[in-house]
Structure 1
Amino acid sequence: MPIESLQLFYKIAIEKSISKVATSSHISQPALSQQMHKLEESVDAKLFERSNKGIELTSAGKIMESYSLQFSQIYDNLIEDLNTLKKCNSVVRIYSDTEVGIYGLPCTLKKIKKNLPTYNFNLSLMPSIEVENKIKQKQADIGFIIGDTTDNTLISKTFRMDKIVLVASKNFNINDKISLKEVLDIPLLALSEDFSSRYLFNKYIQEKNISSEDLFISHTLNSVESTKTILMDGNQIAFLPYLSVRKEINSNQLKLIEVENFNLDYEINMIFNQDITNSTEHIISHFLKYTKCMTCVA
């Protein structure tokens, strides 16, 4: 039973006309009729009835219509996957929130690249809101954002959880546990408003009736790395994603400061369009496999 016969049968079932399908498929009507006759013989069932309205499906034909669509879709997916396999150096475009892209994805990409050597991963960094817009405009295959998407036309999968933590230099003489009120009196290094973690932090403290103007901000910086460098050499504090300071905490360059009644956990989500290709879906499954591999440190 050739797949072409099933595809042509499905077109006839939709159009209810052999002549229309013959014309659109660039095949003669007698040849198409003969092909359908052979299809009926192969399944030992009559599939069509002719009427004044054109072609009508028999009960067997209606069953065949359902299966022919499924077979056709499976065949199309097969061809797409085989074509993807033939392509060397296929490019996967990834747009990521800056903090996630710098501190979360490199190790994951390294592991995926090892399993999928024919793919090249093109990673671009930007704020989460811009990532979402790029995905909606189909300028990228996969996006990583902090928090959930606001667009219900996009699919969102939780990649992992992270949290905002308070950190200071290991040499800073500060209590291991302080209140949020005490935080207001200590010089604070803050990330610029462009950072998604800063947005989450501002929103969180506003719910506790604290504004950013109440904070003792000594520097506003456009880089997490710059923030950590200044932090290590001074008597200041900073609220940063745990993902971005995990390495320095493990190496005893920075220390965690517990803040009473402060718990700012958030999701890192992977977003993509609904009409993704099979190859993109394959890549997504690999990302989800490595949800716990966000950093290359223990």
Structure 2
Amino acid sequence: MNQSTIKYFLNIVEEKSISKAAQKLHMSQSALSQQLKQLEEEMDTLLLERSNHGISLTKSGDLFYCYAQIFEELYEKMRSEMELLKHRSISVIRVSSSTSICEYLVPCALTAYQRRNPSIRFNNICNYTEEVLEDVRNFRSDIGFISQEKGSDEDLFVHKLMDNRLAIISSPKNRAIEDIRSLCELANMNLLLCPKKSGLRGIIDKAFSDNGVSPEKLNVVMEMGSLEALKASVANDDGVSIVPYVTIKKELYLEMLKQHIIPDVDMSCPVSIVYHRSSLQMPELDSFIEFMLHEGKDSFC
């Protein structure tokens, strides 16, 4: 099976007629019918039902049609990028981001930049803050985004882009949290938190520490590296948690989660961009860094 065969099949389905598809493809009906027959023999199944009213997809044909559309789309994308390579080189920027930033903030910024610079491709991976820093420091990643406000050092530049508000969340079924009026009281509830090595956890531990609660005294019943798993457990009323507000907007709208406000407690974690000092010598990286420094906050999801 080759790309032409997939194209022939798609045309037959879209035209709902072998004869009409043959006219559109500028080939004889018999030749197109032969191509279809060979395809069905290769797949070892009937893909189309023929009748006086035209053709219709069998169950196997319907499945093949779904995949054929994907193949065609990928083929066209490949052709487009190959054509682009003839005129200019494609640069790949490797991005490593803290989990909440990676999943909920960065994708929109990367898409916004790529629309302006179609020769740029991004490889975005999720990691913990310290690992993001090491990835950038050791040139495994070109750019990093972390949930911490750290100082620059001899290797790395670190610039804060914005503050990401944190929210205390529970299941709507949880009534006990309605009586909580301080972080000291919240510390005694069943807490579901991200791992200690995450930048977000460092911010949460500091918030409790600043309110007189040692992080070691927190009643953490479970640590989870996945925010999606953490939110699911909170929705199941397994405990309460503290997460970036941007990660729960959909769940709040659907009333799967409930946000709890504690008077005089305003928690947030910074979002910072990290890059190696040598990155400024690379035009494609320097341009993206300038974009993030000046427009990053507005381009996040």
2:189 and 2:137 mapped to 1: Cα distance?
A: 42
1:178 and 1:100 mapped to 2: Cα distance?
A: 29
2:116 and 2:221 mapped to 1: Cα distance?
A: 46
Letter matched to residue 284 of structure 1: I
Q: List per-residue Cα deviations over 1:65-121 (Å, max 9, x = no partner).
A: xxxxxxxxxxxxxxxxxxx99543210111111221111111222222222221110
1:85 and 1:116 mapped to 2: Cα distance?
A: 16
Q: Does 1:227 align with 2:230?
A: yes
1:177 and 1:184 mapped to 2: Cα distance?
A: 10
2:86 and 2:246 mapped to 1: Cα distance?
A: 34
Q: List per-residue Cα deviations over 1:270-292 (Å, max 9, x = no partner).
A: 12123321221111233342422
What 5-or-longer segments of structure 1 have no aligned partner?
1-83
Aligned to 1:159: 161
1:184 and 1:203 mapped to 2: Cα distance?
A: 13
Letter matched to residue 130 of structure 1: E
User: Structure 2 length normalisation: TM-score?
Assistant: 0.63
What SS class does the counterpart of residue 194 from structure 1 fall into? coil
Aligned to 1:3: none
Letter matched to residue 133 of structure 1: E
Q: Is residue 95–residue 143 contact of structure 2 (8 Å, CA) maintained in 1?
A: yes
Aligned to 1:114: 115
Q: Does 1:286 align with 2:291?
A: yes
Q: Does 1:257 align with 2:257?
A: no
Q: List per-residue Cα deviations over 1:110-160 (Å, max 9, x = no partner).
A: 222222221110112211122222222233221111222344232223222
Report the RMSD for the aligned CA atoms in angstroms. Answer: 2.4
Give the direction of change, closer, same or farther, for the CA distance of 1:144–1:176 in structure 2 (3 Å limit). Answer: farther
Letter matched to residue 261 of structure 1: D
Aligned to 1:270: 273
1:145 and 1:200 mapped to 2: Cα distance?
A: 12
2:88 and 2:179 mapped to 1: Cα distance?
A: 55
Letter matched to residue 150 of structure 2: T
User: Structure 1 length normalisation: TM-score?
Assistant: 0.64
Letter matched to residue 110 of structure 2: L
Q: Is residue 151–residue 158 contact of structure 2 (8 Å, CA) maintained in 1?
A: no
Give the direction of change, closer, same or farther, for the CA distance of 1:222–1:156 in structure 2 (3 Å limit). Answer: closer
Aligned to 1:168: 170
Work out the percentage of aligned pairs sharing the same amino acid.
21
Q: Does 1:248 align with 2:251?
A: yes
2:210 to 207, 212, 231: 207
Give the direction of change, closer, same or farther, for the CA distance of 1:179–1:148 in structure 2 (3 Å limit). Answer: closer
Q: Is residue 193–residue 199 contact of structure 1 (8 Å, CA) maintained in 2?
A: yes
Give the direction of change, closer, same or farther, for the CA distance of 1:179–1:85 in structure 2 (3 Å limit). Answer: farther
Q: Is residue 167–residue 257 contact of structure 1 (8 Å, CA) maintained in 2?
A: yes
Instruction: Tell me whether 207-216 or 233-242 shows the greater mean CA deviation.
Output: 207-216
Instruction: Tell me whether 86-95 or 96-105 shows the greater mean CA deviation.
Output: 86-95
Aligned to 1:126: 127
1:245 and 1:196 mapped to 2: Cα distance?
A: 18
What SS class does the counterpart of residue 178 from structure 1 fall into? coil
1:159 and 1:260 mapped to 2: Cα distance?
A: 27
1:147 and 1:209 mapped to 2: Cα distance?
A: 21
As a proportion of its length, which structure holds more helix?
A: 2
What SS class does the counterpart of residue 124 from structure 2 fall into? strand
Letter matched to residue 190 of structure 1: L
Q: Is residue 232–residue 254 contact of structure 1 (8 Å, CA) maintained in 2?
A: yes
Q: Does 1:237 align with 2:240?
A: yes
Aligned to 1:193: 196
Instruction: Tell me whether 280-289 or 160-169 shows the greater mean CA deviation.
Output: 280-289
Letter matched to residue 116 of structure 1: N
Q: Is residue 176–residue 256 contact of structure 1 (8 Å, CA) maintained in 2?
A: no
What SS class does the counterpart of residue 259 from structure 1 fall into? coil
Look at both structures and tell me which one has the larger radius of gyration over its CA atoms: 1
What SS class does the counterpart of residue 175 from structure 1 fall into? helix
Q: List per-residue Cα deviations over 1:187-236 (Å, max 9, x = no partner).
A: 22122212211111112212322123422323222211111001112162
Aligned residue pairs total: 212
* 1:186 positional shift: 2.2
Q: Does 1:94 align with 2:95?
A: yes
What SS class does the counterpart of residue 291 from structure 1 fall into? helix
